[in-house]
Structure 1
Amino acid sequence: MRRIKIGVIGCGMISEVYLQNCTQVFHHVLEVVAVADLVPELAAKRAKEFNVPTSCSVEELLANPEIEIVLNLTAPVAHTIVNEQILNAGKHVYTEKPFALTREDADKILNLAETKGLLVGCAPDTFLGASMQTCIKLIEDGEIGTPFAANASIILGTPANGNHPNVQNFLKLGGDPIMDMGPYYLTALVAMLGPIKRVTGSAQKLYEEVTITNEDSPRFGETFPVEAPTNVAATLDFDNGVVANLQATKESFGYKPKVEIFGTKGNLVVPDPNFFGPFPEFPVVVDVEIQYPNFETKTIPLTHGFCENSRGIGVADMAYALQSGRKHRASGQLAKHILDVSLGIFEASEKEKHIHIASTVDRPAALPVGLKDNQLD
């Protein structure tokens, strides 16, 4: 298996963990040869930190004939235009979520990639981690019987209490709870249960503007308009008959995730899909009915690797796919389906009706059990 040369566009906060993993965890299949950013100093800093040989402009990176995959870590509003540039340069693209902010932009990228014979991948890739792959195996092995319902909640602290230097981005579409954090949970649900065919929901804003109250924030005291819904509830109907409830909000005082899958023989408590492995307070747990109303709760050992923060595994999986000819798992088609569902929730609230999801997608192939040396095949 040869190493695929990649470049990274966007050297902000999220680039640190990607570069760490691409240069240290997945270095057997990936070789980072260049980084670029609109702020040259950021690119130079990342290149020095991770021993990347070249920091350069976006144009120079795209002109490098050795680079086969470009990792797009720009802000959500720039994803489509940068992805288009990458594809037009003849390179495969893996982008941070959300895939796009409109269905038209998502389709434009997928159609362009198909025309050029190139691959498109998209975060999140957390569903390839130890927690989610263990849960997928439990469901496939029939541990909880036939799934029929699910419940997921993403309770996040308000951006007003944070210290992010670009806090205003979390009050716009793309930084809202559904488009920002929703992909982790929706992708996990689709990976476990299959595609979603219909949604309804309510999307609301608690405030029209917020003032930054965290004294440690560089934006302390500034006031910003709230441009996107910050409190959303949805009902999701899956192709296989499962009905799920989803609550997503950025109005709380802290962070509290929860995902449960209910089956005819037991209930699965799923660790936070925002991470690769479970925390002690969020283990993989199966509640199995023994004799009503008594239940046996079993903590399940992990069956798969990649328990630590493995962001970048989706890029590595794409590099394997390029060489083997198989499908890559964190695909653009999966991301488009998640975008369809996300926008469908907003439309359902606006139109006060169910929205049928036009796209569909196959469940990504599960990773084999017992992989060695961080291999993905």
Structure 2
Amino acid sequence: MGEQVTGIGIVGTGVISGTYLDHLAKLPGVDVVAVADLDVSRAQAIADKNPGIRALSPQELYAADDVDIVLNLTIPAAHAPVHQAALEAGKHVYGEKPLAVDRAAAEPLLKYAAANNLRVGCAPDTVLGTGTQTARAVIDRGDIGVPHAATASFVTPGHELWHPAPEFYYQPGGGPVLDMGPYYITSLVTLLGPVRRVTAWSGRSKEERKIHTGPRAGEIFPVQVPTHVTGVLEHESGALTTVFMSFDIWATRLPRIEVHGTEGSVSVPDPNGFDGTVEIATATNRDWTEVPVSGGYAGAGRGVGVADMARALRTGEPHRADGALAYHVLDVLESLLEAAAQDQPVDVASTVGRPAAVPLGASPESA
């Protein structure tokens, strides 16, 4: 490896690891050198197919001299302990969302990293693509005036329709808020800034669900978390966002995200994707009009946040998908669930600055 390449070690070789491996192989400045999994055969299968990647135990991976960043792709319940083990081995960490299953597990990670001059990064990095970043450019240019309201909606009839082992989506750490909420809240914070207070209501349509696919099709499992949550976010700017997240809806025509300002509105594409069409309607032209790409990493895929973090490590600059942002997003999501359980508004204790915009034409190696 050259001096400008950062070594990546992946812990957790489930379905999402394939997507990361595919995209990281295309990104500058990063090189996956090792993989680890509790199921040794899964890690070995990846190593066998990818020359230059070796299969290790998690402990061996943490200790490897050529691993600079541990990419944590384990299930949510394992995020915090894997992060902690990697940090204690002196590694920077980047993980899938959420940062941890709750704030109590997440906060010590950030404190330990800060005390030991280590970095924490966290998905989603979808907001670094051209979709959300073009919408941010529209807002930052003042094209819709002063933003004062937004809507965000994610709905599905349930992951058990397609996932062969969906139970974790319905256990603590899962549910629509913690499962898909990170994409939406991270995008909203990128667009409108941090959140200071929330209120919400929640419910569930079923106490049990049935697996529909795979070798366990027909098995019944319990639902342990709310599966339908609606609420309001009060941003520090004063803007109000209405959120709607559900595993109980068969179909909808609701937009993913819209932001409304004093002079117009912008339609933001799916925050679970990196690109997509951004449209604007204004006081002088109320017809929705497509906006040319105005920012973001073009052609981005999962792992661009890792490459952005690797570049920042080399340059000493802040990385965009960082632990403070992930912690604030987790704080907002947990506060939403608390507000629903308590039937009253909840103040969000944390705050964070908007991450730096990704300029048009940027590369993870240079911006």
Give TM class, smaller chain.
Answer: over 0.9
Q: For each residue in 1:72-113, what CA deviation from the matched residue of structure 2 results, as whole angstroms up to 9, or x when unmatched? A: 000000001100000000000001101111211111100111
Aligned to 2:301: 310
Secondary structure of residue in 1 paired with 2:131: helix
Which TM-score applies when normalising by structure 2? 0.96
Query: In the TM superposition, what is the alpha-carbon distance from 1:219 to its structure 2 partner?
Result: 2.2
CA–CA distance in 2 between the matches of 1:254 and 1:161? 14
Query: In the TM superposition, what is the alpha-carbon distance from 1:157 to its structure 2 partner?
Result: 2.4
Alpha-carbon contact 2:204-2:248 (below 8 Å) kept: no
CA–CA distance in 1 between the matches of 2:286 and 2:320? 36
Q: Indicate how the Cα distance of structure 1 residues 52 and 232 shifts in structure 2: closer, same or farther if over 3 A, else same.
A: farther
Q: Does 1:248 align with 2:245?
A: yes
Q: Which 5+ residue runs of structure 2 have no aligned equivalent?
A: none
Superposition pairs for residues 1-377 of structure 1, below 5 Å? 2-23=4-25, 25-26=26-27, 28-162=28-162, 164-212=163-211, 214=212, 216-253=213-250, 258-278=256-276, 283-290=277-284, 295-308=286-299, 310-371=301-362, 375-377=365-367
Alpha-carbon contact 2:87-2:113 (below 8 Å) kept: yes
Q: Which 5+ residue runs of structure 1 have no aligned equivalent?
A: none
Query: In the TM superposition, what is the alpha-carbon distance from 1:255 to its structure 2 partner?
Result: 7.7
Task: Name the % identity.
Answer: 41
The range that moved more, 101-110 or 254-263, is: 254-263
Q: For each residue in 1:169-220, what CA deviation from the matched residue of structure 2 results, as whole angstroms up to 9, or x when unmatched? A: 11112221100100000000000000000000012111111122x3x43321
CA–CA distance in 2 between the matches of 1:309 and 1:252? 30
Alpha-carbon contact 1:35-1:52 (below 8 Å) kept: no
Q: Which amino acid aligns with 1:90?
A: G
Secondary structure of residue in 2 paired with 1:251: coil
Query: In the TM superposition, what is the alpha-carbon distance from 1:376 to its structure 2 partner?
Result: 4.1
Q: Which amino acid aligns with 1:208?
A: E
Q: Indicate how the Cα distance of structure 1 residues 309 and 219 shifts in structure 2: closer, same or farther if over 3 A, else same.
A: farther
Structure 1 runs (4+) greater than 6 angstroms displaced: none
CA–CA distance in 2 between the matches of 1:209 and 1:322? 46
Query: In the TM superposition, what is the alpha-carbon distance from 1:45 to its structure 2 partner?
Result: 1.6
Q: Which amino acid aligns with 1:297?
A: W
CA–CA distance in 2 between the matches of 1:376 and 1:226? 46
What's the C-alpha RMSD, in Å, of the aligned pairs?
Answer: 1.5
Which TM-score applies when normalising by structure 1? 0.93
CA–CA distance in 2 between the matches of 1:209 and 1:127? 34
Give the aligned length.
364
CA–CA distance in 2 between the matches of 1:34 and 1:151? 41
Q: For each residue in 1:27-85, what CA deviation from the matched residue of structure 2 results, as whole angstroms up to 9, or x when unmatched? A: x2001110000011111122233334311111111111221110000000000110000
